[in-house]
A = this chain, B = another copy of it.
Amino acid sequence: MQPAPAKVSFKEQMLQAREHAILRSACDLLGEKSFDAMTMDDVAGKVGIAKASLYKHFGSKEELCSAAMVEVLSAAQTYLTSLEPSLPAVDKLRAVVRWSLQRLLAQEMPLLPSRNSTLRSVLMANKCYADGVIQVSDIIGEWITEAQAEGVIDPDLPPIGVLYTLYARACDPVVSFLKDSALYQDEEIVDLVLRTCFDGLRAR
């Protein structure tokens, strides 16, 4: 009565697929509302399973949402490393911001945990997340100093300020303001935010 290895693998695949669906739903919901406003009933309803089942996969609401954030971070890392290394540094920076804005428009980007969230302290205690943030920051930070050495990004700006300014685009309310106005296509919104971010509001 030994189960075939393929069967075990299949069961594990199902489990992983289910967990991925849960994370995906949590991610979407965190894009719509705050961690505090989101409920486990919301998640269960969206996935289509009972709330109690969620707790077989994740120990708590905090664990579930942390896992969702780690997955987003992982997707960002994958995108970063997929970029052609020979591209000019500033182009890579633009590409990353563009990627963030597109995910934000697709409502697949949980709003970054500013102080306006109970999730923040939990996330910062999560080693997976904290390490991921450091890795991403190292890669982007290198591109920033590179672009500043080339004189493309303003060398007078502190690199950490540039980094945070780029991060902040991933939860810029301008995107939802413009989206709600229904005046522009998604791609136009992305272009506008990219332009004001890199070129500023003043005429050149």
Considering the complex, which residues of chain A in the window 144-193 have a beta carbon less than 8 Å from any beta carbon of chain B? 151-155, 157-158, 160-162, 164-168, 171-174, 176-178, 181, 183-184, 192
Interface status of A115 (Cβ within 8 A of chain B): yes
Select which of B158, B160, B203 is within 8 A of A155 by beta carbon.
B203
Q: Is the CB of B118 within 8 A of A33?
A: yes
Tell me the smallest distance from the CB of A155 to a CB of chain B, in Å: 7
Interface status of A204 (Cβ within 8 A of chain B): yes
Number of interface residues of A (CB under 8 A): 49
The interface centre, meaning the residue of A111, A118, A161 with most chain B CB atoms within 10 A of its CB, is A161
Interface status of A1 (Cβ within 8 A of chain B): no
* A contacts, CB < 8 Å to B: 32-34, 36-37, 90, 111-112, 114-118, 151-155, 157-158, 160-162, 164-168, 171-174, 176-178, 181, 183-184, 192, 195-204
